Amino acid sequence: MKRKTNVQKITHLMTNYPGGPLAQAFILEAVQQYADQVLAAGRPDDPGNGIISAWAWHDLAADMSRELKYWEAQ
């Protein structure tokens, strides 16, 4: 079997998982909570030397949180 991409995995969980709409809500809530945790930790003083910049990770958390809150308000 061919390995699924990340988009395919999330799409599968949101459309084929037995939880149905509840699974979608669970995934969105999980993303929001994780983004909030990253933001609560604050932006690191140093981007680090890992494969993913700690600054980029923090900034992405801010973007995700903002987008999810925007859609929640619609």
pLDDT bracket for residue 61 (50, 70, 90) = very high
- The whole-model pTM stands at 0.84
C-alpha dihedral (19, 22, 28, 29), degrees to nearest 10:
-120
pLDDT at 20: 79
Pick from 44, 68, 40: which is nearest to 56 by CA?
A: 44
pLDDT bracket for residue 74 (50, 70, 90) = confident
Cβ-contact 23, 14 below 8 angstroms: yes
d(CA 27, CA 29): 5
d(CA 56, CA 49): 12
